Amino acid sequence: MTAPDAPAALTHRQIMVILSGLLLGMFLAALDQTIVSTAMRTIADELNGQTAQAWVTTAYLITSTISTPLYGKLSDSYGRKPFYLFAIGIFLVGSVLCGLAQSIYELAAYRAVQGLGAGGLMSLAFAIVGDLVPPRERGRYQGWFMAVFGTSSVLGPVLGGSFAGQETLLGVDGWRWIFYINVPIGLLALAVVSRRLSLPRRTSTTRVDYLGAALLAACIVPVLLVAEKGREWGWASALTLGLVALAAVSLVGFVLREKAVGEAAILPLRVFRSNVFSLTSVTSLLVGAGMFGGLVVLPLYLQIVRGSSPTEAGLQLIPLMVGIFATSTLAGAVMMRTGRYKLLPTFGTALMFVALLLMSTLGVDTPIPLAMLYMVVMGAGLGLSMQTLVISVQNALPPKDMGVATSSVTFFRSLGGTLGAAVSLAVLFGSLAGNIQSRAAAAGLPQEVRDRFASARALDDSSVIATLPDAVQAVVLQGFADSTSTVFLTVAFLLVPAFVLTLLVEEIPLRAQGGIAAAQAEAGTEERLSASRAESAVL
């Protein structure tokens, strides 16, 4: 791969203009996850597909997860800008198609198209910033990235609930605007990135290992399918065990293939020799599991146990965004002034652990302001952890691996998030019937009432809770709160090994050059060494 020419140093204002386009692209992917989940019940009713609605989420997760490492490798070889523009474009095509869907299976297929774009939106945005901004200064801008995540977590439920609640809007079904809203945002992102982002062209003679990508997909797809559908199929069913076996065989094949192809590998095995990369990848997986495992249950607690509407629950999550933005900005300032970063994710994982322990105490009568305070602590932990882990890996690997470094952290965090959410929901619904029956027995309710809740399926439609007699409703809500507490405790202990791993990560001084400038400096050094060797040979 030819060394790119270093662009002239960008001013803060120029970086912010470029950043605005990148953030809009990231916002598309982040918002899409929360806005769709809020309205999914309404969409499934409209398309007569309640029993198949899980495939809408699963299809998106599969394509977005498996495409992330491919974007990283291709952008390292051929440049970031064309692939980032492609990611936005394919995401917009998928959004329009989703808005036109006439059946739940069409919608699932079109969500898979969206996922192909989403896989590049986040990882490439981080990689582009890594190309342009030195690691030590990168923290100055990380607060904006984290604000995107926080804002989407608030706006998603609000917008999703609002659109889904409209029968029609401008002559179109209200729920379809959940997808159409992506179009103006995406077009603006395309315009800003295409006009303002100037990156050097890259050329490469290294072929891309598409067989390795296929083996990785054959490993990840079964894992995601089991994570999403295992509770329904049965964890010990033949289908589940067969998919797990396929994933294991594919993983072995993937490792052998990556070892054989060397630099053409989608995920070169040499990067695992880096203490920072290997430990941070596992940490990212655990942080993703802790984050999504906790946050997937928190809105359920607010809406079911506390009776908040989707819109109200979205607004009640604002403290989470405040915590994320505050500490990510603080982390950026610390890195700029000191060049140190190791203790930031250490404190971050500790705060996440404490926050989840506190959330495990949430009950039917817990004041909402106290729950919101716990959200601030959770957000503070996330703000110290997420972007700092990305920057540490970008700083540890050579500039030529910027895309691989960034996409790998994103990939492991997404995979962890999917697994964490699956574990949380499995624990929630696996313990729900028993907790309700225990509460019913303690309250002295008749046996027939307890028998009614012998399975969590009795609450497949949570709206029935409001129709129950007061005494029955009270034990159902208490049982649900007990189950959410169990989930928060379970997820909290995933942060213990994450905390330990952050202590073991080697701290490498943050570079004073962006990725492109560092790559040019490396190329210049190699040229001088080659010239020196040639001169010595002549003498």
Helix H segments across 339-401?
A: 343-359, 368-396
For range 362-368, the mean pLDDT: 93
- Give dist(CA 90, CA 111) in Å, integer: 11
Closest CA to 7 of 516, 436, 523: 516
Residue with tokens 């889904």: 164
Residue type at 387 in one-letter notation: Q
Longest dimension (CA), the chain: 100
Question: Which fold would CATH assign to domain 270-508?
Answer: Growth Hormone; Chain: A; (1.20.1250)
| Tokens 């997937």 found at | 296
pLDDT score at 325: 84
Query: pLDDT value at position 378?
Result: 95
Backbone φ and ψ of 510, nearest 5°: -65, 135
Which position has the higher pLDDT, 384 or 462? 384
Percent of the chain scoring above 90 in pLDDT: 28
Residue 6 is predicted with a pLDDT of 46
pLDDT given at position 459: 64
Q: Which two tokens stand for residue 145?
A: 């990235």
202-214 per-position pLDDT tens digit: 666 667 788 888 9
pLDDT in tens, 82-119: 999 999 999 999 999 999 999 888 998 999 999 999 99
Residue with more model confidence, 405 or 249: 249
Report the DSSP beta bridge partners of residue 168. 173
- The pLDDT tens digits for 213-224 are 899 889 988 988
Alpha-carbon distance of 170 to 173, in angstroms, equals 8
Token digits of residue 433: 């019937």
Please name which of 296, 287, 343, 295 lies closest in space to residue 319, comparing C-alpha atoms: 295
Find the mean pLDDT for residues 425-436: 85
Question: Which residue has tokens 């295409």?
Answer: 194
Q: Which residue has the higher pLDDT, 253 or 312?
A: 253
Output the pLDDT for position 538: 46
Across the chain, mean pLDDT equals 83
**Which has more confidence, 181 or 131?**
181
Phi and psi torsions of 207, nearest 5°: -75, 155
How far is 113 from 74, CA to CA, in rounded Å? 19
* pLDDT of 362 over the 70 cut: yes
For the segment 168-195, the average pLDDT, to the nearest whole number, is: 89
Burial of 457 (0-12, 13-18, 19+ CB in 10 A): exposed
Average pLDDT over residues 369-397: 91
Taking CA atoms, 311 is separated from 38, 163, 303, 409, in Å, by 9, 11, 10, 32
At position 374, the amino acid (one-letter code) is Y
| Listed residue (400, 402, 71) closest to 266, CA to CA | 71
pLDDT in tens, 43-52: 877 787 655 6
Mean local confidence (pLDDT), 163-177:
84
Q: How far apart are CA 334 and CA 343, in angstroms?
A: 11
Q: Give the pLDDT score at 524.
A: 54
Q: Which residue has the higher pLDDT, 491 or 200?
A: 491
Report, in this order, helix, strand and coil percent for the chain, each rounded to 5.
80, 0, 15
Residue 512 pLDDT level (bands cut at 50, 70, 90): low
Higher-scoring residue by pLDDT: 277, 150: 277
CA distance 492 to 289: 10
In DSSP terms, 202 is beta-bridged to none
**pLDDT digits 0-9 by tens, 117-141:** 999 988 898 888 888 888 777 777 7
Please write the tens of the pLDDT for every residue from 301-336. 988 899 887 778 778 888 988 898 889 888 888 888
173's enclosing H/E stretch is strand 172-173
Say how far residue 215 (Cα) sits from the centre of its chain. 22
Helices (H), 339-367: 343-359
User: Is 70 exceeded by the pLDDT of residue 350?
Assistant: yes
Minimal CA–CA distance to 335: which of 273, 395, 409?
395
What is the reported pLDDT for 183? Answer: 92
Scan for tokens 């974007």, then name that residue.
71
- Looking at domain 1-205+513-539, its CATH architecture is Up-down Bundle (1.20)
Residues in the chain, overall count: 539
Top-confidence residue, 490 or 329: 490
- Cβ–Cβ contacts within 10 Å for residue 11, how many? 9
- What's residue 379's pLDDT? 92
The mean per-residue pLDDT over the stretch 180-199 comes to: 88
Which pLDDT does position 455 carry in this prediction?
Answer: 65
Pure H helices in 133-209: 135-165, 177-180, 182-196
